[in-house]
Each structure stands twice: as structure tokens, then as C-alpha cells.
Amino acid sequence: MNANTPRQSPAERDESAQQLLSRTARDLPAGRHQFHKERLMAQIHQIQQEERTAAAAAAPARTRRFRLPRPAIMLPALAAALAGTVVAAVVMNDGGGVRDGGVATGPALTTHIGAATTKGVPQLLGQISLAAAETGGSHPAVKPGQYVYIESKTADSFVKTVDDKSSLASHALHRRQVWMSSDGTKGWLIDPAVNDSSEGETLSLPDEQGNTPVGSLNHPTYDYLAKLTTDPDKILAKIYKETKGHGNSPDQEAFTTIGDLLVESYPPAELYSALFKAAAKIPGVVVVNDAVDAVGRHGIAVARLDETSGEREEWIFDEKTHVFLGDRSVKVIASAGEDALIKPGTVTFTNAIVTRAVVDGMKQTP
């Protein structure tokens, strides 16, 4: 970020932010956008206030990235556009390492790029589907008043720009906890890379403008998922239809949509099993025989390369039990421009599921 970027007046920035939100709303599914719209606007105003305070104190200009709670519901176009208009602080920890949003930053995450093959894809996903069906008894339904609790460990790499100088950095592995009611209207998030407070923040709806997005593939509440067909062909057709025009290609968006449902939602057992059968029908899906999740567990991955971004999305499973361990995105093909900093072998995002359970109260753990 250029510290010498011309500054807009508060009125101009408020108008710009509203225009950006409006434009982004047209580019993203309604569920993704509305769910965090109010929180993002609050962040904008908070950072504008911090900028004015820092300027008054003649403090050196420093940078902070926008981060929203979940990769599946981030607003990348908006965040990138706003990055050129706001400047806020990066806090230094006692040990001298830079901290961003409460999480230490360090060098980029890297890995060996595993060889991919189309051989055995249907067989592997069939085994994974069967394993998911067999564990249905340990996958209880979510009753009204109960919450889906998901605890994970996550980290990511990103391009950080300060004073026109860009470098590759990462957020350290950290704990993430999410609670969501069965209808999706009540929730809580604790993620130091996102939250301003260690106590976390509410995800409950409606927002201050009264917006309450209904359940959808991009707002996958348990109640919504429980009503979906468990026919693999029908669920895949629905995914293609409802994600049309999104993502870098229809096939990649379908794969990503299913991946999102595996990570931070709670599909009923029969649907969970059907999703893997549906994934086997997506062109371009491959097997990577060795992949590592965020906490170092080795497994076998079902993956697909996004040829536009050059990143390969990998769903990682235990090789023996076929239990889902987590997912990651690995840069496989080099890019041009600023993204050229992200070399092949860079892990741009990694996540490991630690606990997925049904609990009786908000902020309650199993």
C-alpha cells in the first residue's frame, strides 16, 4: 500500500464505499454479500477514524489487510478496491514479530507440489462416499435451539504491500471457532485473524438494516441443507444452475461450492455422502496421492486446478479411513504481474478440521 496515496474526504470515501458495496453486490450471490455487509462498513469507518487519529499524531503510515470470517464469503473485489483508500496500523508484539489482526505474520507457507492423476478418481470418491454413509450414526441431526460447532486450525499466505514495496507473507496457524444455529440466524465467530476482540463477534441476523438472507448454497444453514435432494445428479445440476456466472469457470465453481460445504457447514449424513458422488462427475477432478493439512496430517487429496488463478484446491482425507481432514489451496502455475510473487509451491490457504459437533448453546464446546 502506498502511504502517499491521495486521501479522500470522509464524505467522498463514504460514497465510494457505498458504490463499491453496490457493485460487489451485483457480482456476488446475495447470501455471501449481505451476511457481512454491515460488519465490513463498520470496519471501513473504524479504519477511517484510526487513519485520522494517526495522521493527527503524525505517526508513520502502516498497513492492515481486510479479512472476513470465511473464505467462502469473503468480498475480494471490495477488499482490494478499498485497500488503496484506507491506512491503519499493524501492531508489534512483545517479541518483535509483526502481528496482523491478532495473528503473527511470517514468511510464506510452502509445500511440495504433489503429482496429480485422473486415475482412480471415481473409485476414491466412491470409497469416501461409502465411508461418509457408514458414519451417519455419529452425525446427529441439529434440533431447533441447537448449534453446529466447528473448530479448525487455519493459516494463509498473501501479498503484503507497504510503501509501494510488495512481499509475500503469511498469517500463522491459529485456532478458529464457529457456532451457527440450525436456521442460520444466530451465530458466533472466534478467529484472531478476523476479530478485534479475543471474545469474538456475533454472526447473528438480521443486520442493522433488517437483512436476513435465507438459506442457500452460499448461506448453507443446516435447515436448508436438510431439505436438499440427496440424488447426486440432481444436487450437481442445482449447484451448476445456482452458481452460473460465478467463479472462474462453471466446473471450478461447482467444485469449490462442494468444498465449502465440506469445511464449514454441517450437511446431513445422506447429503454428505451424495456430495462426494456428485464431485466425481465434475470434469477435471484429480487425485493427489500425498497432501498435508494445516496441522501436518498426511492424507490423499481430491483436487481440481483452477487454470485462471493457477491454484489447485485440495480436499484432504485420511488414506485409510477416508475421513475428511481439511483443505488447502496450492499455487501450481506461475502468474504474471504482482501475483508473480506467489511462486508455485506456495500454500495460499490451509485448514484442518479439529472438531465438528452439535452443541446445545452458543459458545458451548463439546
Q: Is the pLDDT of residue 26 over 60?
A: no
pLDDT band at 101 (very low <50, low <70, confident <90, very high): low
Q: Is the pLDDT of residue 150 over 70?
A: yes
Name residues whose C-beta falls within 8 Å of residue 300's C-beta, 6 or more positions apart in sequence. Answer: 124, 287, 288, 289, 290, 291, 316, 317, 319
Q: Which of 10-24, 52-66, 278-292 has the highest mean pLDDT?
A: 278-292
Q: Which three cell numbers stand for residue 130?
A: 461409502
pLDDT digits (tens, 9 = 90+) for 188-233: 999 998 898 999 999 998 877 788 888 999 899 999 999 999 999 9
Q: Which three cell numbers stand for residue 249?
A: 469457470
Which pLDDT score is estimated for 100?
54
pLDDT band at 71 (very low <50, low <70, confident <90, very high): very low
pLDDT digits (tens, 9 = 90+) for 288-300: 999 999 999 999 9
Mean pLDDT, rounded, for 97-108: 72
Report the SS3 class of residue 108.
Answer: coil
Q: Which three cell numbers stand for residue 269?
A: 449424513
pTM (two decimals): 0.75
pLDDT digits (tens, 9 = 90+) for 129-147: 999 998 766 788 999 999 9
Asked whether 193 and 103 are in contact (CB, 8 A), the reply is yes
pLDDT digits (tens, 9 = 90+) for 257-287: 999 999 989 999 999 999 999 999 999 999 9
